[in-house]
Amino acid sequence: MARLFGTDGVRGLANRDLTAELATKLAQAAAIILGEDARARGIKPKAVIGRDPRISGEFLAAAISSGLASSGVDVFDAGVLPTPATAFLTDDLDADFGVMISASHNPAPDNGIKFFARGGHKLADEIEDKIEAAMSAEPLAPVGAAVGRVQRFADAEDRYIVHLLRSLPNRLDGLTVVVDCAHGAAAGVSPQVFTDAGAKVIVIGADPDGNNINEGYGSTHMSALQAAVLEHGADFGVAHDGDADRCLAVDASGAIIDGDQIMAILALSLKERGQLARNTLVATVMSNLGLRIAMKEHDINLIETGVGDRYVLEEMRAGGYTLGGEQSGHVIFAQYATTGDGILTGLKIGAEIARTKKSLAELASVMKIYPQVLINVPGVDKSRVNTDAEVQQAVAAAESELHGTGRVLLRASGTEPLVRVMVEAADEGTAQSWADRIARVVEKQLAL
């Protein structure tokens, strides 16, 4: 039987894969596992619930609230808020756990449920497994005054905005920024906080109706932001995804600035101000070769993890590092957040532009982006990708020719019978040629 929890909670098509019944059972199981410490101290567990604005979040929030309260958990419903806000409020309220209802950058019919442990941290795999196992156990059934209360978390948004503003090293006065909210959870927060920080703000993609999240706007559809930055002559633009845990940017010329470039800019800024812990940046194996080279040139250590912000977070917590993230725009500032925060990232970009008086394009020029070709090879035995002799010979041949000016990465998909072949090189043609050659070998040697 497949594991219920994926790499980022439980996701699926709302009301088919992710039903009210499943949400209730998940909540009851979470109450057993995540509320255990509070009950041992003789007090009611507390939980914070947030959601993005997709329509199915309404019935799922009701189901989760019902499951938790009926299990003796006091529920603080924060309403529509970004994922990092739910994580922050879990910590700020000293709640036992948090629940976020969102499918992030997925289309509106999908939804997801993920949990945060005390302190706002993502759950370890073994805790998720305990919750999944507890779904088959009898739920807690307190009666009378022992049942939980469900109350609106009235100042949730204000608390989060104050927190974001306190994280800024300097104001954004004099800057013009376009903010693309992806018709998602950022709509009620991001424009306000950029305005409060001193910027002139042009807002797009900020009219969520429950069905238009990520539709034509946001970090998966950058053309709307590029056009708006050029139209308004803005200094830069930021694009969030549906739950605002990621941020991509656009410079004044309309060029996209990805997560790797953002991390390069902010790593150098933190180092200059003596705030880059252990002089180290944490990124995934999928980050561009240009990031590795740029960090080496500036004497910054780069630690690589597996793909997924949870692995970046684990490494950051284990090593006490300040900054980490992914090419996709998940950027984590350990001093201020326990997960990727797209609004915080956008603010930090603006603060660096204001502090240095440099354009975003000039700041991003610290890193050269190497052409990166990714080919998915389906229908193969991914378990043999690292052991097949001919596949490994093909990789070795590519690496020998590239002589340190490129990189080859073969990665088995975590959910499908396919292998991802990624090649970076100094020019597009070389990267494409080697990616095609290696993909053909993988397809031939590992065919099912």
Which residues does the annotation mark as catalytic? 104
Which amino acid is present at 413?
Answer: S
Q: Taking Cα atoms as reference points, which of 165, 159, 30 lies closest to residue 91?
A: 159
Residue 192 CA from chain centroid, whole number: 21
- Asked whether residue 243 is marked as a ligand-binding residue, the answer is yes
- Asked whether residue 235 is marked as a ligand-binding residue, the answer is no
152, burial (CB in 10 Å: exposed 0-12, middle 13-18, buried 19+): exposed
List Cβ neighbours of 16 (8 Å cut-off, separation of 6 or more): none
- Asked whether residue 241 is marked as a ligand-binding residue, the answer is yes
Q: Where are the beta strands (DSSP E) in 67-199?
A: 74-80, 97-101, 110-117, 121-122, 150-152, 176-180
- Asked whether residue 341 is marked as a ligand-binding residue, the answer is no
The H or E element that residue 410 is part of is strand 407-412
389-402 vs 428-445: helix crossing angle, rounded to 10: 170
The H or E element that residue 431 is part of is helix 428-445
Q: Taking Cα atoms as reference points, which of 283, 310, 311 lies closest to residue 295?
A: 283
Tokens of 262: 């953002």
156-166 vs 83-92: helix crossing angle, rounded to 10: 90
Bridge partners (DSSP) listed for residue 284 = 305
In 3-state terms, the chain is what percent helix, strand and coil (to 5)?
Answer: 40, 20, 40
What is the C-alpha to C-alpha distance for residues 51 and 185, in angstroms, rounded to an integer? 8
List Cβ neighbours of 114 (8 Å cut-off, separation of 6 or more): 8, 9, 10, 83, 99, 100, 102, 122
SS3 294: helix
Tokens of 320: 């006490």
| Binding site as annotated, residues for Mg(2+) | 104, 241, 243, 245
